[in-house]
Structure 1
Amino acid sequence: MNRRHLRLLLTTLLLGFAPLAQAADCYYYWVHQCLNVIDASQRKIEQFVLISPAVNYLNSGDKQCTDAVSERQQQLQEALLAPFNKAASKIEACDTPLTDIPARVYDNPQKATWHYSRSRRESPGKTIVPLADLPAL
């Protein structure tokens, strides 16, 4: 086999395994919103968004991102819910304690960042409540 064929073979192998190497990269954050309807006839609401301080990274190994995040989150459920419920208890619109907080999970850092930034974007009637000290998976 000459050098050209060898290079072509190596390039093909590397490109073939590239998606497998990235499959373990997961990006997640937690977000919960509470709504206070001020005037339903005018569609006037107050929105409170409780959110992670940043997008987090997790190497899921050989598992799908959603499965890996969900599995690890089960172990930290109480430690995760405590800061959310503490912040929610100070907001009138959040009148029911949380029993579950599903993670927003992505396998693409750009998508995760875009969705996270959109969730954090302030607008009239929308209050962002970033939560610190959340457990890492």
Structure 2
Amino acid sequence: MIRGLIVCLIMCCAAGARAQDCYYYWVHQCIEVVDASQRQLKQFVLISPAVNYLQAEGQQCSDAVAERQQPINAELLARFNQAAEKISACQVAVTELPARVYDKPHQATWHYNRSRKASAQKTVIPLEGLPVL
């Protein structure tokens, strides 16, 4: 009986010490007003080519991603701004690009796929070759 409790205690402690799995991607959108009286908009979405994976060693996912994004933030902003300047709706430079962070893969995939879904009013532009954390 005591051995069982000790094994459970060890397993619980080991589970807490494991690294947390994190999933993230970057997305930025620009909106163009086509006809304000009819409420017609055109949306342009700049997005990572895929959901990325990161192991957060003893940190919350959002904190780990934010910390690791800082060294590459200038490169990310440059890449997004380079793509955005080709779009008439993106008149203001991207100055902040927080990652969309999830701790469950199905949530990250669902939100990512929803963001990537194009329509007549929505143009999706995946940005290839972005750095990973």
Pairwise same-fold verdict (TM > 0.5): yes
- 1:18 Cα shift? 3.5
Question: Which position in structure 2 is the counterpart of 1:48?
Answer: 44
Partner Cα distance (1:107, 1:14) in 2 = 21
Partner Cα distance (1:21, 1:95) in 2 = 44
Change (3 A) 1:117 1:20: farther
Q: Deviations over 1:27-75 (max 9, x none)?
A: 0000000000011221111000000000001111011111111111111
One of 117, 123, 127 as aligned partner of 2:123: 127
Are 1:76 and 2:80 matched, yes or no? no
Identity of aligned residues (%): 56
Q: Number of residues paired by the alignment?
A: 133
TM-score, structure 2 normalization: 0.90
- 1:123 Cα shift? 1.5
Taking only aligned residues, the RMSD between alpha carbons, in angstroms, comes to 1.8
Unaligned runs of 5+ in 1: none
Partner Cα distance (1:105, 1:20) in 2 = 21
TM-score, structure 1 normalization: 0.87
The answer to whether the 8 Å contact 2:23/2:105 transfers is yes
Question: Which position in structure 2 is the counterpart of 1:10?
Answer: 7
Unaligned runs of 5+ in 2: none
Partner Cα distance (2:105, 2:75) in 1 = 25
SS of 1:76's equivalent in the other structure is: helix
